[in-house]
Structure 1
Amino acid sequence: MEGSESLRLPPRPSTPSDSDCCGSGCMTCVFDIHDKEVSLWKDECDRIRRGATASSEYTMKPERYVQLRILSIVKETQDSFVFTFAVSGGVAIKVGQHLVLRHRSDDRVITRSYTPIRTDADSFDVLIKIYNNGAMSRWVSTWQEGDLAEWRGPIGQFDHTPNKFQHLVLVAAGTGIAPMISIIQHVLNNDVDETRVHLVFSCRSSSDVLCRSLIRDFTDYWNFSVTYFLTQDTQENSSMRQRDKVVYSRLSRELLRRELPENLNQTRVVVCGTRSFDKDMMNYLTLSGFPPDCVHKF
């Protein structure tokens, strides 16, 4: 018993507060993630008590964290970066799935979910925004090439059946663009999928538009279009291209309705942004009479 008590066990994952949950019935709620983190923590404590060594396996799995090395860091905007991680065997990630990043200090465990914007046979890219007072951001802001970070996954589910809907409208704000990128790529890279994809992307200003070059590449496809909503910018100050469709306003109920096709029964909408943005968009869709079973919120 004394030997067991002297073991250095990792801290228990912090319990989310009620305010951390948006109450919108997300596919993977913060409390679901917490329950899984507690289960993994208990397993790890048991392994330490048994004297088991840490796993030397570096293949990504949903139920086990692995340490992955940062290959490169590219600045996307003034406060957002694309981090490339090396991973043995690649990431068998499906459209819309995400990975969980974990940071452990002496007395606290922090986890955040991120959807890769690119994957290949031996690496993946994640887009991360640095917040001034963010608990995870304080650690991420210190990252350098060659550093290690703990990841697990993939997790989550998003089902897309080619040509089931005529229109797929993706409503995103800020870093909520990340899962949308994977969905867009999934549709556009399928030659038999003729679903028309329309991205509605809300950002503060033109300098805050994430994945701009990727989105511009998407516009070369016949079945993709995008409307940018810039909430704190003006046409005079904007660096957007003249041919870009830009609305210099917040995304209101009326403006969102204009972005939706007339035939709502042949349209699916996906929403991802901040908690307040998601709540507003879901409310706007309900008030517009949009079928609730045709809406997916990340």
Structure 2
Amino acid sequence: MREGGRPVWGGYLPGGGSAGCRGSRAAPCRRASPGRAASGASGGRATRAPTRETRRAWPARARSTSSPGTSPRPARAAARAPAAASSTNSELTPETFMPFIICSVDQLSEDTYQYTFELPENSRLGLSLGQHVVLRGLVNGLEVQRAYTPISPVNAEGYFEVLIKCYGAGLMSQYIKSWKEGDVVFWRGPFGGFPYVANKYGELFLLASGTGLAPMLPILKYITDNEDDETFVTLVGCFRTFENIYLKSRLQEQSQFWNIRTFYVLSQEHSLENLPWSFREKTHIGRINEDLIKSMMKTCRRQPFVLICGSVTFSEDMEKYLKAIGLGEESYFIF
């Protein structure tokens, strides 16, 4: 038996509350569009009726949106409204670096920060799901470029957010550590991306390590904002300790939806007893491996398509495990 007891992997069960969670969303930019805040809200909206297929897929316990002693689960948006006529994309281009102002800096862990950048009123960054942008930095006269995936919703207006881990000896990290509110930073893009189409996959199985969580957050938000998207999602986040789990409250909010599950694998945590009760059932202590992935995939409601994001070593290991399980290259995508 694993240390701390066996976690419960099965079913789409109600997620725990977010009390005591760290890593909450950064405050909105002061000059951002008033309509922006609504893009991240999920409460007060009508919950859709499940389809016939969904009713078959749900475990009986998950059909209720709430249970005695728990808070109601967040309702979905009734439908994604078309963009207002005044909403436009920013002037971001792949060829030319454009200036953006930092409007907030939030430290999420000892070495990881969330930066929020301003966009002109009513404008969007113009990225699709999974796309990244390239940052330019100057360190001791040397130009350095690095790619980062925004964590803000793709339809966010007036701002975008980036999650960045700083390394002690990294040239770009030296530049980033000097950032403060009001600084101007240069970005270009977008590049890459995952061509997601609603209901194309019965279930998405997301494997993320550390800041590899970045492309997964907009995907989760995109699915839960779309009333017509019946895709199930299982997110497996791999971190060193509980304290290293980024944006806990945002992840907890997403896990309240009927079709979203979140699990965590903590490689350097010592006991589940050190975790809040709402995380204990969905956390494994140790390292992710082939057997753990196989056991979690057996609980999927439908045939999963796998998304992978993390370090090169993490991605290579996950691909090796998936192939050992029997999945072909057409069954997964690596960011």
TM over 0.5: yes
> Quick one: which of 145, 148, 152 aligns to 1:118?
152
Q: Which ranges of structure 2 fall in alignment gaps of 5 or more residues?
A: 1-89
Counterpart residue type for residue 182 of structure 1: P
SS at match of 1:118: coil
> Quick one: which of 239, 242, 252 aligns to 1:206?
242
1:154 Cα deviation (Å)?
1.7
The root-mean-square deviation of aligned C-alpha atoms, in Å, is 1.9
Q: What's 1:80 paired with? A: 112
Matching of residue 291 in structure 1 with residue 333 in structure 2: no
TM-score normalised per structure 2: 0.68
CA distance in 1, matches of 2:326, 2:319: 11
Q: 1:264 to 1:194 in 2, by over 3 A?
A: closer
CA distance in 1, matches of 2:300, 2:289: 20
Q: Which has the higher helix share?
A: 1
1:220 Cα deviation (Å)?
1.1
TM-score normalised per structure 1: 0.76
1:243 Cα deviation (Å)?
4.6
Q: What's 2:225 paired with? A: 189
CA distance in 2, matches of 1:112, 1:213: 28
1:238 Cα deviation (Å)?
3.1
CA distance in 1, matches of 2:311, 2:171: 17
- Kept after mapping to 2: 8 A contact 1:87/1:122: yes
Q: What's 2:128 paired with? A: 94
Counterpart residue type for residue 223 of structure 1: N
1:228 Cα deviation (Å)?
0.3
Counterpart residue type for residue 144 of structure 1: K
Q: Which ranges of structure 1 fall in alignment gaps of 5 or more residues?
A: 1-57
CA distance in 2, matches of 1:139, 1:111: 11
Q: What's 2:317 paired with? A: 280
- Kept after mapping to 2: 8 A contact 1:66/1:150: yes
Q: What's 2:256 paired with? A: 220
> Quick one: which of 209, 222, 244 aligns to 1:173?
209
Q: What's 2:180 paired with? A: 144
Q: What's 1:59 paired with? A: 91
Q: 1:176 to 1:122 in 2, by over 3 A?
A: same
Where relative contact order (Cα < 8 A, 6+ residues apart) is larger, the structure is: 2
CA distance in 2, matches of 1:81, 1:240: 23
State how many pairs are aligned. Answer: 241
1:87 Cα deviation (Å)?
2.2
Counterpart residue type for residue 115 of structure 1: T
